[in-house]
Amino acid sequence: MVPAARYAAAMQVVDRIRTGTRASVALRDWGRANRFAGSGDRRAIGDIVHDVLRHWWSSAAVGGGDGGRLRVLGLLRLTGVDPASIFTGTGHAPDELSAEEAVQFQGEIPSDLPSLVEGDLRQRFGDDFPGLVQAMRGRAPLDLRVNLLRSSVAEAEAALAADGITVEQVPLCKTALRAPAGDRRLARSRAYLDGLVELQDASSQAAVAFAEPRPGERILDYCTGAGGKALSLAALSNGPVDVHDIAPERMRDLPERARRAGAALTPRGTSALQGRHWDLVFADAPCSGSGSWRRDPEGRIRLTAEMLAALRTAQAQVLDVCAPLVAPGGRLVYATCSMLSAENEDAVTDFVNRTGNWRVCRTLSLSPLNGGDGFFAAWLERT
């Protein structure tokens, strides 16, 4: 497919997303209905669609409407691509621009952050807010975590280089390496297949390092999910980690990942937590995911006040459930991949005020301006 045809296909997919279809489903359905498109075409169309999602409101403003055609037009203008090279009307390209569509946008470009949270982020970042907006419109980097159970940083770099993958170290965390975005050799590389490296954002790694997991400690990862942080906890502590998730099916791939990484992870059902205590309880609570909206840009257009309120309730429940699981002298580390005060500082302050016998020792707050995803962590101890 020529580039213009890919943009035309992306318009169709965006129109389906506007009606409520998930982006992954819309892209899958387009691919099934258009078997002639090769894997390279499907990837390129997916990239265009996700770029539209990252520019959801600005592309509509600059393009002159919220349909797929006009949002793609707006994206082209925002990214410096001449629309005349795409809207040619030949072959499978989009029709030529009408006189109305050819009129250039003159107003203020929206921030591409939901109005529900834009005020909070403006206040939080102050003079850095424009930089945050620009960063959130970009694609997230491809970060790797060196698995210290299998390798040193130098050994991992050498193994990746042997497969032609050049990486650079990321200052956010000593185990973080950054690979070229879109490098598809990684999944076939010896470093990955042998468990020397795992995919994990540098800020996520920094949040685990912030918890200071130590050898010999009893460690529980309460909201394990797919298990990236549990594997990181095991590597940094060089010991076993108990894992738990209220939806155990989220951990279905974790045994194989743990085997490849050489990590000792023990699943614990909810009932098995009662009466037990851990030196470190790491709670990566469910959240809006605002810190990772570059990776999941659809999250920013789906967020509602009702969803945020439900997440606040879930976060309070996680803190209340985890607190009794912390051993005397231990610590509870609360984390989110969010940049919103309501899910971070406010949630922790409410917990401290509600319980009366916990204190915040220190916090970590990261955003894409620091080079990785947005992340928050709070180190909590009993008073």
320 is in an annotated binding site: no
CA distances from 234 to 145, 216, 265 (A): 13, 11, 8
CA neighbor of 363 nearest in space, from 349, 373, 383, 350 = 349
Strands across the sheet containing 197-199? 168-169, 176-179, 142-146, 197-199
Catalytic pick among 223, 287, 337, 361: 337
CB distance 51 to 7 below 8 Å? no
Indicate if 287 belongs to the active site: no
245 is in an annotated binding site: yes
Dihedral angle over CA of 206, 209, 211, 214, nearest 10: 170
- Distance in angstroms (rounded) separating the CA atoms of residues 313 and 81: 44
183-188 long-range contacts, CB within 8 A, separation 24+: 183/142, 186/142, 186/144, 188/163
φ and ψ at 28, to 5 degrees?
-60, -45
3-class SS of residue 183: coil
Non-local (6+) Cβ contacts of 281 within 8 A are 220, 222, 322, 325, 326, 330, 331, 332, 333
CA triple 128-131-134, angle to 5 deg? 155
> Which of the residues are catalytic?
337
Residues that constitute the known binding site:
245, 284
Q: Which residues are annotated as a binding site for S-adenosyl-L-methionine?
A: 245, 284
